[in-house]
Every structure is written in structure tokens, then in C-alpha cells.
Amino acid sequence: MPKGLVAIVDDDEMVRMATASLLNSFGIFTLHFASARQFLEANRKNIACLITDIQMPDMSGLDLLRVLRQARDRLPVILITAFATPTLLTQIEPLETAGLLEKPLDGDKLIALVLAALDEGKEQP
């Protein structure tokens, strides 16, 4: 069974719940956040991986990733978007993500990325 919590940040409750249900069916425990700010304000001590939508009101998933990286947080982050434009891909490239998935999500790809991120997280100090 995979170790560590996976945080899901998405302003769409149905997407959060569907993603959590998929991960839970593989024995992966999840925490859910309706916004990037809610995630940043939470106790993130046991979170081993973050899945975040890019397009959200207030603070985007990309801005959330930038905040984490500026704070030298090496948390594996999987980005989700319905709009993977060349400009977006250029913005993401230097930020070291654990992956980028387009909506609608491919469950097998998501699980593979999460398991790889959780495995990678074990090796970090």
C-alpha cells in the first residue's frame, strides 16, 4: 500500500471527489481542498504529493506551484488542465512537476504518476 497522503486541490467539488475516489480505490489516502489558499493554510506535514487543477479562481494551480518552489518545497506536484497550450507548457517547464495531465483525466495515467511521485518522495530528505 502506498505511503503518504495525496492532496487534491480543485475548485470543482465533483472533480475532487472523483479523483479522491479513484485514488482511494488503490489504497491511496487523500485530503481535499477547494482552493490553493486553503491548501497553503493547512497543515501539510504528512502530504507526500499534490494534485492541483491549474485553472482556479483566486490563485491558480500554477501560482500555487510557484509559491511552493519559491519556498524551496520539493513536494511532487501533478498539474491538471483542460487547456494545455504551448504557452502554458513553457511556463510549467522550469518548475519541476511530477506530471501534467489533461482533462478529461485518464485514470491509469493519474495512478501511475501518483505512485511514481509517492515513490520519489520516499527518497527525498
* Structural domain boundaries in the chain: 12-82+104-123
Q: What is the mean pLDDT of residues 109-122?
A: 90
pLDDT tens digits along 48-81: 999 999 999 999 999 999 999 999 999 999 999 9
SS3 61: helix
Q: Is the pLDDT of residue 40 over 70?
A: yes
Nearest to 97 by CA among 58, 55, 69: 69
Nearest to 113 by CA among 66, 78, 85, 67: 78
Q: Is the pLDDT of residue 3 over 60?
A: yes
**Identity at 61, one-letter amino acid code:** G
Fold of 12-82+104-123: Rossmann fold (3.40.50)
